[in-house]
Amino acid sequence: MHLIIYTMRLFTVIAYLITCSINVFPQITEVIIDDTGNPNEPSVCFSENRDSLLYVAANITNFYTINTSNGIIRKQKASSPLGVYGDPVLHWAKSSLYYTHLSKTPKKDYGDWFDRIVVQRIDSAHPWKEKSYSLGYNKGKMQDKPWLSSDDWSVKYQNNIYVTWTEFDKYGSSDPTDHSRIRFAALNSKNDSFSQAITISDTVGNCEDGDNTLEGATTAVDASGNLYAVWAGLGNIYFDQSNDGGKTWGQDRIVALQVKGWDMDMPNIMRANGMPFLVADKIRESLYICWADERNGNADIWLLASKDLGKTWSEPILLNLDKTNTHQYFPNMAVDEHTGDVHVAYYDFKTSPTNTFYTISLATYTTDGKVTNAQLTPFVTALPGKKVFYGDYLDLALYNDQLAVAYTAYDLSQKTEIKLVTEATISNGIFSKLAINNTVAIVRNSDTAQIILNVEHPHKTKMVIHVEKNGKKSKHSYKALYRGSNTSWDHILGVINIEPEAHIYRIKYRIRDLAVRNVYRRKIQLN
């Protein structure tokens, strides 16, 4: 919530990184994209129709379309018939951009409370005019902190949109009879309408907007369409599951303790939290949860991993590898389904013993259990002795091996800025070649190469890799790692042994489309 526009000067930064596996310290180039307003709580999303488009939203009505290929930035003000009141979240699904935010009944006669969640489907040609959905209205109660996910793969629930949020009986109340709960609604892609909102939490929290309030609900979907949710409250990380598109849910499970709660008191920061985020690796049937807590005396970033879709979980894994007593908070994450790597971005004070100067850091957790850290930004300053407001979260997006991280910062020069980080390089030599050619990504090290192909609307895709060494040629054939006539994408992952002198000179793939009885062939010549 916390939608007051503070007089402090704030700016939002976007980190845009070309990468397949981030386990290095990238070099950063920043470009100012805006110097007006006081943005916070940014959300970021790639257009999956055009690789060069990046969308950003921030409190309260800031909205940007960024063409990363030519640097053109289009700034708009988000609008809605019911008004736009912050907590923006962007999500790409169903070949469309979805935007959710808080709203309220115009000119209502009771309290200044945000009484509904609005979800908008945005058309790039006619922004804010395509479709708007109002959900969660419950007279006298407040709705807060929405989040979006979608079913991109399954047959039965494909293209469904899922929304979770917190409902307060009375926001800020210390009355023990006033409670908070986690609410849920689903957009059915077949009839283009949202279901009635339901409560999915079995327990209730208080309404004080603190550690004992249920907040921070996010969802993820596996390849079969099973839906999962996590949230924080009462010193716990809760997990729940639905196998019927969100119509019914199971019993809440506590999968981790959140020591000292999610609402953390930090120097110089008005509000710092460790609310959980959930992602699903559809290819490897894995789930991951990240959060922050203070079990070690200071705030750290933690990860839970489940290799069996939530049946069992790992012990908490520490992601920030520093040995300091400084704080890390506001984690958020994305999973690279090509590699299985999980990337968690967070605010990091490890460079400042006084918790005054921070960076944005990125932790990467690989499928073999290794953790690496990278510093994404130069030093960013909080104002000593001031409680600076950053919102409640940062955000990141991952698409086609491009990672974008959006966050809020304070500028001591008294200038409000939104920045875009447009370039990063792999610098430690782990990968000697990183190339992206249309729909094919190649990661090359000294003796192996990993090739990833994404094909839209496939059936029975096949890829052939041609390798040459000293004039001698060989080829390697791979079928799709995940395929099906009713899914949107084929993912082909090929790992071949390749000697240092050898090189990949050609990649061919064939798509057999049974619907139109055609076979499509494509050749990519690399060198």
Q: Are residues 169 and 119 in the same domain?
A: yes
Would residue 143 count as lying in a domain? yes
Residue from 244, 353, 249, 344 nearest 298 by CA: 353
Q: Model confidence over 367-392: pLDDT tens digits?
A: 999 999 887 775 565 555 567 778 89
Check which CATH number belongs to the domain holding 252 and give it. Answer: 2.120.10.10
Would residue 5 count as lying in a domain? no
Q: Are residues 129 and 205 in the same domain?
A: yes
To the nearest whole number, what is the mean pLDDT of the chain? 78
Residue from 314, 313, 315, 319 nearest 299 by CA: 319
Would residue 1 count as lying in a domain? no
- Return the structure tokens found at 401: 């091996």
Check which CATH number belongs to the domain holding 437 and give it. Answer: 2.60.40.2420
Q: Are residues 350 and 477 in the same domain?
A: no
The string of DSSP letters for 145-193 reads EEEEEE--S-SSSTT-EEEEEEEESSTT---TT--EEEEEEEEETTTTE
Last residue of a domain, one of 397, 423, 449: 423
Residue from 12, 149, 27 nearest 422 by CA: 27
**Beta carbons of 339 and 22 less than 8 angstroms apart:** no
Which portions of the chain are predicted below pLDDT 70? 1-37, 51, 71, 107-112, 124-127, 351-357, 378-386, 410-461, 478-498, 500, 511-527
Longest dimension (CA), the chain: 80
Would residue 177 count as lying in a domain? yes
Q: Are residues 343 and 444 in the same domain?
A: no
Q: Which residues contact 104 (CB under 8 A, 6 or more apart)?
A: 82, 83, 85, 112, 113, 114, 115, 116
For 222-263, give the secondary structure using H, E and C. Answer: CCCCCEEEEEEECCEEEEEEECCCCCCCCCCEEEEECCCCCE
Whole-number pLDDT of residue 354: 60
- Return the structure tokens found at 447: 């003796």
**Beta carbons of 456 and 502 less than 8 angstroms apart:** no
- Compute CA distances 470 → 33, 381, 464, 473, whole Å: 48, 54, 20, 8
- Return the structure tokens found at 377: 């930004």
For 365-410, give the secondary structure using H, E and C. Answer: ECCCCCEEEEECCCCEECCCCCCECCCCCCEEEEECCEEEEEEEEE
Q: Are residues 395 and 502 in the same domain?
A: no
Q: Are residues 387 and 415 in the same domain?
A: yes
Q: Are residues 364 and 513 in the same domain?
A: no
User: Based on C-alpha coordinates, what's the Rg of the chain?
Assistant: 23
- Give the containing element (helix H, strand E) for 325: none
The identity of residue 214, as a single letter, is L
Would residue 500 count as lying in a domain? yes
Per the structure, how many domains does the chain have? 2
Whole-number pLDDT of residue 490: 52
**Beta carbons of 126 and 81 less than 8 angstroms apart:** no
Would residue 356 count as lying in a domain? yes
Would residue 428 count as lying in a domain? no
From the CB of residue 203, how many other CB atoms can be counted at a distance below 10 Å?
14
- The pairing of strands 253-257 and 236-242 is antiparallel
From the CB of residue 270, how many other CB atoms can be counted at a distance below 10 Å?
15
Domain span at residue 496 reads 433-525
Please give the angle made by the CA atoms of 259, 261 and 266, to the nearest 5 degrees. Answer: 100
What 373-376 contacts at long range (C-beta under 8 Å, 24+ apart), as own/partner pairs, is 373/319, 373/320, 373/321, 373/322, 374/22, 374/23, 374/24, 374/25, 374/26, 375/25, 375/348, 376/15, 376/17, 376/26, 376/28, 376/345, 376/405, 376/421
Residue from 382, 380, 274 nearest 331 by CA: 274
Q: Are residues 455 and 370 in the same domain?
A: no
3-state secondary structure of 517: coil
Whole-model pTM: value is 0.77
Q: Are residues 270 and 360 in the same domain?
A: yes
Last residue of a domain, one of 381, 400, 423: 423
Last residue of a domain, one of 423, 446, 466: 423
Q: Are residues 318 and 455 in the same domain?
A: no
Q: Are residues 224 and 329 in the same domain?
A: yes
Cα dihedral across residues 20, 25, 31, 34: positive or negative: positive
Q: Are residues 194 and 267 in the same domain?
A: yes
Torsion angle of the four alpha carbons 154, 158, 160, 166, in this order, in degrees rounded to the nearest 10? 10
Q: Which residue has the tokens 């203070």?
A: 294
